[in-house]
A and B are shown apart, each in its own frame.
Chain A
C-alpha cells in the first residue's frame, strides 16, 4: 500500500512563530486532506487539496502532486493551534472515500 510520511514528528513553537509541516507520499493520489486533531480528539478538516495552493486565514497548503508532497504553513501561531496535524490521502481506483493517514506532527505552541 501507499506510504505517507510526515515531518517533523514534533514541533515546539513560541506564540507568533511561523512553521511548515510536510507530507510525502509514495504513490499517485486521488485526493489529499490536512486535518487538525484537537486535545479532545476531534478531527477538524483544514484543507482538501489534491493539487495546487489554498489559503484559509493564517493557514495555507500547497500540494505538488507530480513530486508527491504537500506542505501546510501556519503563520503567526497561537496556543489554540496546538494539537496533532494529520495528512491523509486517498489513492487507487477502488479506494473511494477511504483514507490512509500519516503518523502526524505534534505541534505545541507556548504563550
Chain B
C-alpha cells in the first residue's frame, strides 16, 4: 500500500485568503485525486491530477477556485482560493494502489474558514 503524507492536517483561515494543501506519496503514481468532504457529508471528487498535464475537474469544480499542480510523480498540491465559510471541509488526496481500483487516502486536511 502507498504511504501518503498530507499537509497541513488542519488550518483556520480568514475569508478571502487561500490555502494550499500538499500531498506527498512514497512511490511514483500516475494519477492523484483530490476529494472534498463537507461537514456531515460524503466524499466528492474535485479533480484528477496527472503529471505533465492539466488537471481534469469534475462537474461543479473549476480551476480558478481549485488550482492544482502536479510537478512530478510523487507530489501534488491543491489550492482552495478566495475562501468563504462554505469552503470549510475536509480535503483529501488519494492515489490508486497496486490493484486497479484500490484507492489509498492521505489523512486529510480539515479547513475552517472564519
Contact = CB atoms under 8 A, between A and B. Distances in A.
A62 interface: no
Interface string A75-90: 0000000000010101
| B contact patch SS | strand
A41 B37 CA distance: 10
A48 B100 CA distance: 10
Contact of B100 (A30, A43, A100): A30
Given A90-B101, A96-B31, A42 B43 contact: no
Contacts of B1: 45
A41 B110 contact: yes
A31 B96 CA distance: 12
A101 interface: yes
Interface string A37-57: 000111101001010000000
Given A48-B102, A86-B43, A90-B101, A97 B107 contact: no
Contacts of A86: 42-43
Interface range, B side: 20 to 34
B75 interface: no
Interface residues of A, number: 23
A33 B43 contact: no
Contacts of B66: none
A43 B92 contact: yes
Contact of A48 (B31, B92, B95, B101): B101
11 contacts: A35-B105, A41-B37, A42-B108, A43-B43, A86-B42, A90-B101, A96-B96, A96-B100, A97-B95, A100-B45, A104-B42
Given A33-B101, A88-B103, 4 more contacts: A45-B104, A97-B103, A99-B45, A104-B42
